[in-house]
Amino acid sequence: MILFEIVKSLRPYQWIKNLFIFAPLIFSLNIFDLSLVLKTAGAFAVFCVIAGATYIINDIKDIEEDRLHPLKSKRPLASGKLSVGQAVISVVLLVVLGLGAAFLLHFHFFLICLVYFLLQLAYSFRLKHIVILDVFIIAAGFFIRVIAGGLAIEVDISPWLLICTILLSLFLALSKRRHELIVLDKSAAQHRPILKEYNTTLLDQMIAVVTASTVIAYCLYTISTETITKFGTSKLIYTVPFVLYGIFRYLYLIHQKAEGGSPEILIIKDKPLLIDVFFWIITAIIIIYV
């Protein structure tokens, strides 16, 4: 039973975020290199362990605030199904296991994993209380995953890929903050003090900026000389409609359905969005490799 609660605290549903690690493998034209695929899969597993440890740390830190949240109060620590002592022991074991495996995989990958872990610690204890910077730290988690994927298999990462990742992750992070404001309403500041620094108008303006920037950056990426030379085709621009639909669908969900609190769940739960992401991936792979 305790093991089940520990695994639940690792938030397996959020492991979908770690799929960003596969981006360098796909866009470096190495998807059919079995050794690199296995290394990337190993990097994915390592990030699941390390990220899981940071989730438990955050739950320990926010245990009292989580008990006031309609959904987070059901988490193992907040509900009392897992004790703080058991959680601390789990964190120590997971960090040792995760960083040890990262070191064996690649030294530079180990360093980026260590940076990610320390950054998440800083976020849990201090940075999440600093307005705007808190959103950037959330977005940095996605950015670091892409870099980690490149370091694990020792390939160069396109600056365009990094720019698109930063903008998309900011879009998701700002949407998450907006969802928290809507769902928690008047108790928002009690659950997460930083929310008193935001309002929906401000967040909507920020979301508008990063939404437009994301679309423009992706369009420029598909037609850039670097991209055409690397992939030997200019047809990647045909994936733009999928990106546009995905962003518009996500905006519809956060504004009309008050969704967006958990992007990883939303992508799986919302069938139109899931189908769109699937077709974007398939279309991109066909254009790049075929």
Integer Cα distance of 55 and 11 in angstroms: 7
pLDDT of amino acid 188: 65
Integer Cα distance of 84 and 46 in angstroms: 24
pLDDT of amino acid 4: 80
| Secondary structure (DSSP) of the chain | -HHHHHHHHT-GGGGGGGGGGGHHHHHTT-TT-HHHHHHHHHHHHHHHHHHHHHHHHHHHHTHHHHTTSTTGGGSHHHHTSS-HHHHHHHHHHHHHHHHHHHHHH-HHHHHHHHHHHHHHHHHHHTGGGSTTHHHHHHHHHHHHHHHHHHHHHT----HHHHHHHHHHHHHHHHHHHHHHHHHHGGGHHHH-GGGGG--HHHHHHHHHHHHHHHHHHHHHHHH-HHHHHHHT-SGGGGGHHHHHHHHHHHHHHHHHS---S-HHHHHHH-HHHHHHHHHHHHHHHHHHH-
b/e for 135-157, b at 16 or more Cβ within 10 A? bebbbbbbbbbbbbbbbbbeeeb
Neighbours of 185 (CB within 10 A): 8
- Pick the closest to residue 149 from 137, 160, 139, 158 (CA basis): 158
Helix axes 34-61, 107-125, angle to 10 degrees: 20
Tens of pLDDT, residues 66-102 = 777 666 777 887 777 888 888 889 999 999 999 999 9
pLDDT of amino acid 208: 95
Low-confidence residues of the chain: pLDDT under 70:
69-71, 185-190
pLDDT of amino acid 147: 95
pLDDT of amino acid 83: 82
Cβ partners under 8 Å of residue 226, min gap 6? 158, 160
pLDDT of amino acid 70: 67
Tens of pLDDT, residues 25-37 = 998 889 899 999 9
* % residues pLDDT > 70 (the chain): 96
The answer to whether the CB of 219 falls within 8 A of the CB of 240 is yes
